[in-house]
Structure 1
């Protein structure tokens, strides 16, 4: 399903989470860059007073900018909005897939209006649970329909059609996403780790140079150690290695669940199949939250 086919609360919380994630990471990146620039300005020891004053002033400005960015991160709490927004969005998405596949709590035996009533109540409960997030949700988006036409269209398909739709658009789509993200995070982790090791090695070389030439006006040790520390901080923020493991595990679990696809030939088995799949996806999200915290 496309984004517009999901409830307004899902769309609003997903957008709030993505926007806060982007803002949070951008501020962190700018903060680290300001420290690297400040360190780069100290690589040469000027002999005259005027260049020194100019260098110290510029360094001070960049350090001040870094301090302001750090305070913004502390006060705005973009990270909390990011986590809560994703938690709410994932909960809404799980409920939506259970609703359209006539899974537990939304069985095919329920009339459409009754099923919609139960679904709306569950969405309302989620909204109350994450009420602190409301002020960060887009008012225009959150007021979009709770139950969309596409949701009802899929719900009214026969059991075989719903099963095929769910496998293609939920399980296979999510499994492929996990697999791609696992490989992406593996490559990024290796690249950042190489950068960190390289900077630390160059720092040692610079120290050896200063030992041999103690009178040199060039000192690159502080610059490369700052780059190394910044890269390490960024690596810890992105958590590429942890995400790679979590995504790989989730992809494998969904792959195992797909094995039972052929045995799903009744509404009850479809409901069980959907619940197993959604629980596997929920476990990945739970692990993601635990790693972030």
Structure 2
């Protein structure tokens, strides 16, 4: 038994989709924008002596720079970044609430009738929906029309204590811990690669300057091209924040390891409620840190 995407409330599915699509659009546009500047710089490597080829290069460079300007304005007007952040915040809040409901955690204890717990859950989702009402126009109406409380959610909630405990450990903590660990290593590798590219481009720029000092009459000038690549790589590295995310994910994975080590002391529904609350708080702290880092 597992929890698939479609087993979560429609609000979670819609917010998750909106966030992922906005994230993808934002990063693609930034990538295209930086690429136009690199290409424009690349076109100026050789200094043509004849007027015609020089004019053609100027026109093509101007078109690429104009494209970059349009993309920059598009980023500003479409607000993809804000939708990405807010959509993720809404999705994670709805997801945490769902796990608390199905494990009979705080406010949804096992001794509460299912009908009462369902009403509380629906009210909490309504509050979340109101809190993020500015996202309404970006959410998929088809997903929002899905069940608020799915059959799988109630099926898991009706399991006995030991089954709910095991399900939560395997499908929430274990899954989240693996995701954090994998993402930490992924971001570490990407950070190293991009940093290496920056160093190489800056070194080549320095060599190019030395070449021009020795051959000042040369028509070849690679300085602007490689410094633009280096600057673009730095901008992309700041956007992706690989180093910061690596640290945040590593910390979260480590914290969940300690929480998981205490699972043996969870012997009843009350213990499980506290256990779930501690786990969800740890996951929430990682997400709060992530949002703070994206805003800086």
Interval containing the TM-score (normalised by the shorter chain) = over 0.9
Q: Distance in 2 between matches of 1:260 and 1:203?
A: 54
Give the CA deviation at 1:29.
0.2
- The 5-angstrom pairing of residues 1-293 of structure 1 reads 1-293=3-295
Q: Which runs of 4+ in 1 moved over 4 A?
A: none
TM-score of the two chains, using structure 2 as the length reference:
0.99
* Deviation string, structure 1 residues 83-116 (Cα, Å, up to 9, x no partner): 0000000000000000000000001111111110
Q: Distance in 2 between matches of 1:138 and 1:271?
A: 33
Give the CA deviation at 1:53.
0.4
TM-score of the two chains, using structure 1 as the length reference:
1.00
* Deviation string, structure 1 residues 251-292 (Cα, Å, up to 9, x no partner): 000000011101101110000000000000000000000000
Q: Distance in 1 between matches of 2:166 and 2:154?
A: 16
SS at match of 1:181: helix
* Deviation string, structure 1 residues 124-170 (Cα, Å, up to 9, x no partner): 00000000001000000111100000000000000000000000000
Q: Distance in 2 between matches of 1:194 and 1:260?
A: 41
* Deviation string, structure 1 residues 59-90 (Cα, Å, up to 9, x no partner): 00000000000000001100000000000000
How many positions carry a matched residue from both structures? 293
Give the CA deviation at 1:240.
0.1
Q: Distance in 2 between matches of 1:136 and 1:199?
A: 40
Q: Tell me the C-alpha RMSD between the 2 structures.
A: 0.3
Q: Distance in 2 between matches of 1:124 and 1:166?
A: 25
Q: Distance in 2 between matches of 1:268 and 1:254?
A: 20
Q: Distance in 2 between matches of 1:152 and 1:125?
A: 21
SS at match of 2:216: coil
Q: Distance in 1 between matches of 2:42 and 2:148?
A: 53
* Deviation string, structure 1 residues 210-259 (Cα, Å, up to 9, x no partner): 00000000000000000000000000000000000000000000000011
Give the CA deviation at 1:178.
0.1
Q: Distance in 2 between matches of 1:138 and 1:257?
A: 36
Gaps of 5+ in 2: none
Q: Distance in 2 between matches of 1:130 and 1:105?
A: 22
